[in-house]
């Protein structure tokens, strides 16, 4: 996927379609449950598209994105980003037609989950709890729930069944119905106006190594038939939510297995995973952030060939957590480091790929220290400069290294201008390559030096692959 202007231009046409009737109650669900997760811009886009539908109709009139920009007071980039978030949250489905060089879209609005589905989702409810806090979360639970129908002895069910009220039709009427049964269905190109239930968010199972999990499970402890599709769906969601690998998941499955009926208790599985995550992260719950560089900001779309292109691809397809683990030789990063990373992505709105470059830059400048004040100072400056792509971040890191403009409690090591810099730490090849270009002597290097440099870059690349 390219930049937003490659995917969408103001003259592109669109039609709004609803997969089913949207009810007034859905507005409350969207406002109070979804808005804390998707933000007001996404909610505004959804509501505006919804408003284009006439009452009790499923299709709107055709319009252009230029009109949508004027309605929302937003640029096309913000509308495109909001559309992607709605798609990821399962609230919007987008179809495109590019025939005859005229691009048109169908924006199919999906109904939100019911409050019961949302609060029992296992993913969205956790993110909402983390976002708004315990007190407001339970306030919303009370808002979206009410008393059950009384079932005590004071009340008795006297409801009549269908057959108690109605009698069967005569044979002649039945024959008439059979003769005109084809007329009772909707026409071939139409459907009856109604509403289908919304599907809960489900993470693709390909993101989890089920083969490794099944290999690690002993058939005598947990039979493979216990890992049915419903359990696999729960495992995929929990692995995404809490960043759990196959080895850790095995322990939680053993805790949730009920030997009496040879089944996995999914609620116990969720509880075990949540308790483990909160224990490791000091009673914190995960936040909903984009774990890798958003596709709209990725620039290395072709197969990388040079070391620099490979490094760009690494930054764009790797989460900041994985980068920290790689730089720590596989050790789990401190929770304080993770909170700093989360702050950069949530408060400073820095994309994951930019944060990855920032991590390497800080570690190289401060002798592998990750000091909160220094990181936040750089992050806030990069945010003000509106750095969104990996290439922009790499270029800025190189310029900052030359100017040595930053100052903090952990200042970068300074060297005399006349002194030849000596590096003992491992540098990213893109950083080393650019520094070489800027400090290169006007005299041509010897062939042996060039060969040594190539070998050095290859060794650096191998380190990053580990």
- For residues 276 and 303, membership in a common domain is answered with no
Q: Is the dihedral of CA 191, 197, 201, 204 positive or negative?
A: negative
Radius of gyration of the chain (CA): 29
- 273-287, 399-413, 448-462: which has the highest mean pLDDT? 273-287
Of the three residues 280, 306, 334, the one that is the final residue of a domain is 280
- For residues 270 and 299, membership in a common domain is answered with no
Q: What average pLDDT score do residues 90-111 get? A: 89
Higher confidence at residue 18 or residue 460?
A: 18
Identify the pLDDT of residue 444.
47
Average pLDDT, the chain: 77
Q: Is residue 49 part of a domain?
A: yes
- For residues 91 and 216, membership in a common domain is answered with no
Q: Is residue 246 part of a domain?
A: yes
Distances (CA, A) of 403 to 362, 393, 416: 15, 15, 13
Identify the pLDDT of residue 409.
46
Q: What is the CATH number of the domain that holds 66?
A: 1.10.10
The position carrying tokens 């922009």 is: 392
- 29-33, 214-218, 306-310, 457-461: which has the highest mean pLDDT? 29-33
pLDDT tens for 75-99 read: 998 999 899 999 989 999 999 998 7
The position carrying tokens 């914190």 is: 284
Judged against a pLDDT cut of 50, whether residue 310 lies above it is answered with yes
Host H or E run for residue 95: strand 92-97
Total domain count, the chain: 3
- For residues 265 and 327, membership in a common domain is answered with no
Q: What average pLDDT score do residues 300-317 get? A: 80
Please give the Cα distance from 348 to 375 (Å, whole number).
Answer: 12
Range of the domain at 38: 4-112
pLDDT tens for 192-214 read: 555 566 666 677 777 788 888 88
Identify the pLDDT of residue 109.
93
- For residues 348 and 222, membership in a common domain is answered with no
pLDDT confidence of 458, banded at 50, 70, 90?
A: low
- For residues 341 and 414, membership in a common domain is answered with yes
Identify the pLDDT of residue 93.
93
pLDDT tens for 326-358 read: 888 877 777 778 778 877 876 777 888 898 999
Of the three residues 112, 137, 158, the one that is the final residue of a domain is 112
Judged against a pLDDT cut of 70, whether residue 374 lies above it is answered with yes
Q: What average pLDDT score do residues 215-220 get? A: 71
- For residues 306 and 330, membership in a common domain is answered with yes
pLDDT tens for 11-27 read: 899 999 988 788 888 99
Strand partners, 63: 14
Q: Is residue 34 part of a domain?
A: yes
Please give the Cα distance from 318 to 295 (Å, whole number).
Answer: 12
- For residues 325 and 460, membership in a common domain is answered with yes
Q: Is residue 290 part of a domain?
A: no
Within 287-351, residue ranges assigned H as helices are 307-317, 320-327, 335-346
- For residues 257 and 319, membership in a common domain is answered with no
Q: Is residue 330 part of a domain?
A: yes
- For residues 306 and 353, membership in a common domain is answered with yes
pLDDT confidence of 422, banded at 50, 70, 90?
A: very low
Higher confidence at residue 294 or residue 322?
A: 322
pLDDT tens for 42-66 read: 999 999 999 998 877 888 999 999 9
Host H or E run for residue 172: helix 171-179
- For residues 272 and 374, membership in a common domain is answered with no
Q: Is residue 195 part of a domain?
A: no
Identify the pLDDT of residue 288.
56
Of 332, 326, 357, 331, give the one whose Cα is nearest residue 344.
357
Of the three residues 221, 247, 280, the one that is the final residue of a domain is 280
High-pLDDT (> 90) share of the chain, %:
17
Q: Is residue 422 part of a domain?
A: yes
- For residues 268 and 304, membership in a common domain is answered with no
Q: Is residue 413 part of a domain?
A: yes
Identify the pLDDT of residue 419.
46
């Amino acid at each position: 996927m390219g930049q937003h202007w490659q995917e969408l231009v103001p003259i592109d046409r669109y039609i709004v379609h609803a997969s089913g009737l949207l009810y007034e109650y859905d507005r409350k669900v969207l406002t109070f449950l979804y808005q804390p997760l998707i933000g007001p811009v996404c909610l505004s886009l959804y509501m505006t598209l919804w408003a284009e539908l006439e009452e009790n109709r499923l299709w709107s009139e055709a319009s252009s994105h230029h009109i949508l920009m004027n309605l929302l007071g937003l640029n096309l980039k913000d509308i495109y980003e909001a559309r992607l978030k709605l798609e990821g949250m399962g609230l919007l489905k987008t179809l495109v037609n590019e025939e005859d060089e005229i691009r048109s879209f169908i924006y199919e609005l999906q109904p939100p989950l019911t409050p019961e589905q949302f609060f029992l989702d296992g993913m969205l409810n956790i993110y909402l709890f983390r976002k708004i806090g315990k007190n407001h979360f339970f306030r919303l639970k009370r808002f979206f729930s009410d008393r059950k129908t009384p079932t005590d002895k004071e009340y008795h069910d006297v409801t009549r069944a269908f057959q108690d009220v109605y009698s069967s039709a005569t044979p002649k009427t039945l024959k008439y119905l059979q003769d005109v049964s084809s007329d009772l269905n909707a026409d071939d190109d139409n459907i009856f106006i109604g509403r289908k239930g919304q599907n809960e968010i489900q993470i693709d199972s390909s993101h989890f190594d089920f083969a490794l999990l099944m290999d690690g499970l002993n058939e005598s402890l947990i039979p493979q038939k216990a890992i049915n599709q419903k359990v696999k769906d729960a495992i995929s969601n929990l692995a995404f939510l809490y960043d759990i690998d196959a080895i850790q998941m095995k322990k939680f499955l053993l805790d949730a297995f009920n030997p009496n009926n040879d089944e996995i208790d999914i609620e116990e599985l969720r509880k075990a995973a949540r308790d483990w995550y909160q224990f490791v992260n000091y009673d914190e719950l995960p936040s909903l952030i984009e774990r890798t560089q958003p596709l709209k900001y990725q620039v290395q779309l072709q197969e990388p060939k040079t070391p620099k292109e490979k490094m760009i691809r690494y930054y764009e397809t790797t989460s900041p957590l994985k980068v920290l683990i790689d730089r720590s030789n596989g050790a789990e990063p401190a929770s304080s480091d993770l909170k700093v990373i989360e702050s950069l992505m949530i408060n400073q709105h820095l994309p994951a790929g930019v944060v990855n470059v920032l991590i390497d830059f800080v570690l190289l400048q401060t002798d592998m220290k990750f000091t909160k004040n220094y990181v936040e100072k750089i992050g806030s400056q990069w945010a003000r400069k509106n750095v969104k792509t990996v290439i922009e971040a790499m270029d800025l890191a190189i310029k900052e290294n030359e100017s040595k403009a930053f100052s903090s409690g952990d200042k970068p090591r300074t060297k005399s201008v006349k002194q030849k810099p000596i590096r003992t730490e491992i540098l990213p090849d893109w950083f080393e390559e650019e520094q070489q270009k800027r400090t290169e002597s006007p005299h041509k290097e010897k062939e042996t030096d060039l060969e040594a440099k190539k070998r050095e870059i290859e060794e650096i690349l191998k380190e990053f692959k580990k």
